[in-house]
Amino acid sequence: MSEPSALPVVGIAVESPQHAGMVPCLDYRSEQPLSPGTLVRVPFGKRDVPGIVWQVGADAAAVGVELRDVRQALTALPPLSGAWRQLVAFAAGYYQRSLGELALAVLPPELRRLDVTQLDRRLARLKPAATAASADPAPPALSADQAVAVAALLDAAPTTHLLHGVTGSGKTEVYLQAAAHALAAGRQVLVLVPEINLTPQLEARFAQRFAGHRLVSQHSGLTPAQRLRHWLAAHLGQADLVLGTRLAVFASLPRLGLIVVDEEHDPSFKQQEGARYSARDLAVYRGRLEQVPVVLGSATPSLESWQRAEQGAYRRLALPKRIGGGALPRVRLVDMSLLPRDQVGSRALSPPLLEALQVRLSRGEQSLVLLNRRGYAPVLHCAACGWKSACPHCSAWRVFHKGDRTLRCHHCGFAERVPRACPDCGNLDIQPVGRGTERLEEQLALALPDARVARIDADTTRPKGALEAQLGAVHAGDVDVLVGTQMVTKGHDFRRITLVAAVNPDSGLFASDFRAPERLFALLMQAAGRAGRDAGQASASEMWIQTWHPRHPLYTALLAHDFAAFAAAQLRERESAGLPPFSSLALLRAEAKSAQAATDFLHAAAAAAVDLPDAAGVTVYPPVPPPVARVAGVERMQMLVESRSRGALQRMLTHWLPALHALRQKDKAHRAVLRWAVDVDPLAI
């Protein structure tokens, strides 16, 4: 590197204002030499903003330009490592965001605010590294399958592993023992889970096993001060284990030795706003970058991961049996089309299912009844004039919530008291149509008068601590029949549930989103996993499915608990349709006050794509509205971009984005577009 004669020049990643394009770094002068990765404060316009030193040395473009000085360098903090910067740079490039925006967005907000003095104070207040007061308790002896999995993870050549095992097959124990090896070697372990709800349980297990090590969590449920403390503990190497949700994939870990992604198929690993990154995919990238093993664990892996394992890109590790030899619940399909007409009607529960619930009740066992729709009824209807409870701001119905007598829109939140009569014709007899968990709870209580029925969904768990209290009641045996949405299928270890029933799962079979069957299969497998966790009761446990399509291949695979068969069938369909993982997708979304303005913008975007260098290998489809086109008075349109080659799509997007940013500046008409965004590898289409 040649020494510049004047003050050294550094390229700084700063958070550029929204929509300002993709400026990578800004040049500043610095009195002291600064290492890449150092946190700084720099002047930006009239403000003082946080930044990260990204490169050292003059940029050709900066020569002759009057540069401003770095105000403060937070040198008390070790610089962010080269690997961390490479991860962030890759994510920014891949998901088409500006480097500075992403790099700063993934740091704790408190850290971005600190100046040198405040940082010193925070650092002084940090607890020293955990004193190994207690020894870690002895782990159980591994089963043969687990031993193979752990040995593979400790292999000399670190790679990505897909740990495929049903609920209760001992995946977590594999994580724990692989983590023990990493910790013994003085390395840090990163564990990613899909949802905050799931962190306390896994955290408890890790904390109990690794009593002599320091564990911190990183998720959005922490206070800003906690987030900063936990981030610093990881960055300074004081914490040995970091457990967190998707954002934690960007944790700064100087001694990283193992990455675990639990429930790797879960859609929550994909960020749905801002930089729409997949934490699962970035974890795999990070593992390769830092040469550490990655474990992706699931009972129902994503088809993307499954396909990579099939191709040999990931190493597959299988735990086909439950620990303790417990059987998987027997799956029973209730063919709704065979029931006498008067027994189906508006009733949610078929007589055979009610009978099965009654039997469990008389034996003192618990049941879980699953319905993935909250509220009492998805719509209210006036038979006299045809009025329906539409949301005035969205292209959606407002849901009837009987508990608080409201009509509530689940898209924009708009809520009103339920009208006593039809707002259009005054008819007093307006009827709920269809059913949600609230109504199901009511119907169950009527049908099983002796049962203690409880409900867990996003409505019942809103108050802080409510979920824990409700789960506690289930565990204590104060509930006989639990009604819930998919929320209750995730992770919770219900010992006494011997029957799980899905009352209306068919909609997932024919939804427009090509991933709907994959989601449905995962949901039902996961739900089935809630039954018979107690090996003593496993043989008697059952999963009931009420369906109008009992011969659908998805259910056939479920009957046999055969994920491989399901995955193979789905992958064949995806391949013939040219869908992921056999192609790569990106979605360009636009929002405007009118659908026409959004559509015009997307048409202009498509026109701008035609002449791009890699346009030949990329197909741009016509704009279409998403399933719910209008939300909170804003019209949304989207346009799919597809390529057989991930590289071609990436190159095309990199050229396309600057053109998209320029569109609104060049043409006044496009200013009507309120927001637009590119979603690379979108999950919901």
Q: Which helix (H) or strand (E) holds 356?
A: helix 351-363
Question: Which of Zn ion, ligand ADP, none sits in contact with 140, Cβ below 5 to 8 A by type?
Answer: ligand ADP
Q: How far is the CB of 98 from Zn ion (least distance, A)?
A: 32
Choices 169-177, 336-344, 423-431, 462-470 (CB under 6 A): range interacting with ligand ADP: 169-177
Backbone region of residue 375 per phi and psi (left: phi > 0; alpha: psi in -120 to 50; beta: other values)? left
Question: Which of ligand ADP, Zn ion, none sits in contact with 621, Cβ below 5 to 8 A by type?
Answer: none
Question: Which of ligand ADP, Zn ion, none sits in contact with 424, Cβ below 5 to 8 A by type?
Answer: Zn ion
Residue 165 lies near ligand ADP (rule: CB under 6 A) = yes
Q: How far is the CB of 171 from ligand ADP (least distance, A)?
A: 3
Per the listing, tokens 């029949």 go with 481
Q: How far is the CB of 387 from Zn ion (least distance, A)?
A: 4
Whole-number Å distance between alpha carbons of 640 and 585: 7
Question: Which of Zn ion, ligand ADP, none sits in contact with 293, Cβ below 5 to 8 A by type?
Answer: none
Between 72 and 201, name the residue whose CB sits nearer to ligand ADP: 201
Question: Which of Zn ion, ligand ADP, none sits in contact with 443, Cβ below 5 to 8 A by type?
Answer: none
Residue 580 lies near ligand ADP (rule: CB under 6 A) = no
- Selected from 140, 472, 536, 613, the binder of ligand ADP by CB under 6 A is 140
- Selected from 11, 100, 108, 168, the binder of ligand ADP by CB under 6 A is 168
Site size with ligand ADP, rule: CB under 6 A: 14
Percent composition of the chain: helix, strand, coil (DSSP 3-state, to 5): 35, 20, 40
Whole-number Å distance between alpha carbons of 366 and 479: 7
Between 42 and 368, name the residue whose CB sits nearer to ligand ADP: 368
Per the listing, tokens 């802080």 go with 464
Q: How far is the CB of 510 from Zn ion (least distance, A)?
A: 25
Residue 167 lies near ligand ADP (rule: CB under 6 A) = yes
Between 153 and 483, name the residue whose CB sits nearer to ligand ADP: 153
- Selected from 169, 199, 350, 547, the binder of ligand ADP by CB under 6 A is 169
Question: Which of Zn ion, ligand ADP, none sits in contact with 382, Cβ below 5 to 8 A by type?
Answer: Zn ion
Between 35 and 143, name the residue whose CB sits nearer to ligand ADP: 143
Question: Which of Zn ion, ligand ADP, none sits in contact with 155, Cβ below 5 to 8 A by type?
Answer: none
CA nearest neighbour of 14 among 116, 101, 87: 101
Q: How far is the CB of 262 from ligand ADP (least distance, A)?
A: 8
3-state secondary structure of 586: strand
108-134 residues labelled b (16+ CB within 10 A) or e (exposed): bebbbebebeebeebeeeeeeebeeee
- Selected from 15, 101, 145, 173, the binder of ligand ADP by CB under 6 A is 173
Q: Is the peptide bond before 581 cis (omega within 30 degrees of 0)?
A: yes
Question: Which of ligand ADP, Zn ion, none sits in contact with 143, Cβ below 5 to 8 A by type?
Answer: ligand ADP
Whole-number Å distance between alpha carbons of 71 and 357: 69
- Selected from 38, 98, 160, 172, the binder of ligand ADP by CB under 6 A is 172
3-state secondary structure of 43: strand
Q: What is the residue-wise DSSP string for 439-465?
A: HHHHHHHHH-TTS-EEEESTTTT-STT
Q: How far is the CB of 617 from Zn ion (least distance, A)?
A: 40
3-state secondary structure of 252: coil
Whole-number Å distance between alpha carbons of 178 and 172: 10
Whole-number Å distance between alpha carbons of 509 and 569: 14
Site residues for Zn ion per CB under 5 A: 382, 384-385, 387, 391, 393-394, 409, 411-412, 414, 422, 424-425, 427
Residue 323 lies near ligand ADP (rule: CB under 6 A) = yes
Question: In whole angstroms, what separates CA 647 from the centre of its chain?
Answer: 25
Residue 170 lies near ligand ADP (rule: CB under 6 A) = yes
User: Are the CB atoms for 639 and 679 separated by under 8 Å?
Assistant: no
Contacts for 152 with CB less than 8 Å, ≥ 6 apart: 161, 315, 317
For the CA atoms of 358, 168, 176, 261, what is the dihedral angle to 10 degrees? -90
Burial class (CB in 10 A: 0-12, 13-18, 19+), 469: exposed
User: Are the CB atoms for 542 and 330 separated by under 8 Å?
Assistant: yes
Between 559 and 634, name the residue whose CB sits nearer to Zn ion: 634
Whole-number Å distance between alpha carbons of 103 and 88: 6
Q: How far is the CB of 428 from Zn ion (least distance, A)?
A: 10
Between 42 and 422, name the residue whose CB sits nearer to Zn ion: 422
Burial class (CB in 10 A: 0-12, 13-18, 19+), 135: exposed
Between 92 and 380, name the residue whose CB sits nearer to Zn ion: 380
Between 422 and 588, name the residue whose CB sits nearer to Zn ion: 422
Question: Which of ligand ADP, Zn ion, none sits in contact with 323, Cβ below 5 to 8 A by type?
Answer: ligand ADP
Amino acid identity, position 44 = F
Residue 177 lies near ligand ADP (rule: CB under 6 A) = no
Question: Which of ligand ADP, Zn ion, none sits in contact with 427, Cβ below 5 to 8 A by type?
Answer: Zn ion
Q: How far is the CB of 635 from Zn ion (least distance, A)?
A: 13
Residue 142 lies near ligand ADP (rule: CB under 6 A) = yes
Q: How far is the CB of 633 from Zn ion (least distance, A)?
A: 9
247-286 residues labelled b (16+ CB within 10 A) or e (exposed): bbbbbbbeebbbbbbbbbbbebbbbeeebbbbbbbbbbbb
Residue 146 lies near ligand ADP (rule: CB under 6 A) = yes
User: Are the CB atoms for 529 and 166 separated by under 8 Å?
Assistant: yes
Q: How far is the CB of 393 from Zn ion (least distance, A)?
A: 4
Residues 88-127, mask of contacts with ligand ADP (x by CB under 6 A): ----------------------------------------
Residues near ligand ADP (CB under 6 A): 140-143, 146, 165, 167-173, 323
